[in-house]
A and B are shown apart, each in its own frame.
Chain A
Amino acid sequence: MHIPDGYLSPQTYIPMFVVTGTFWTAALRKLKKRLSVKEIPYLTMASVFSFLIMMFNIPIPGGTTGHAVGAAIVAVLLGPWTAVVAVSVVLIVQALVFGDGGITAIGANCFNMAVVMPFVSYWVFELIRGKSTKVARLSASAFLSGYVGLLASAMAAAVELGIQPLIAAAPDGKPLYAPYPLSITIPAMAIGHMFLVCIVEGMVTMLLLRYFYKHQPKLIYSFKEDY
Chain B
Amino acid sequence: MIQKKLWIGLAVMALMVPLGIIIPEKLGAAGAWGEWSSETLRLMLDYLPEGLQRYTDLWKAPIGDYSVVPDSANLFIKSLSYIMSGLIGAAIVGLGIFIISKSAARREK
Contact = CB atoms under 8 A, between A and B. Distances in A.
Interface of A: 1-7, 9, 28, 31-33, 35-45, 47-49, 51-53, 55-60, 63-67, 85-86, 89-90, 92-100, 102-104, 157-158, 161, 168, 170, 174-180, 185, 188-189, 192, 215-216
A174 B66 contact: no
B66 A59 contact: no
Interface of B is mostly: helix
A90 B88 CA distance: 12
B76 interface: no
A89 B61 contact: no
B35 A99 contact: no
Interface centre among A95, A98, A178, A216 (most CB of B within 10 A): A98
A132 to B, nearest CB: 24
A157 B35 CA distance: 11
Interface centre among B32, B53, B82 (most CB of A within 10 A): B32
Contacts of B70: none
A49 to B, nearest CB: 6
B32 A104 contact: no
Interface centre among B21, B35, B50, B98 (most CB of A within 10 A): B35
B18 to A, nearest CB: 9
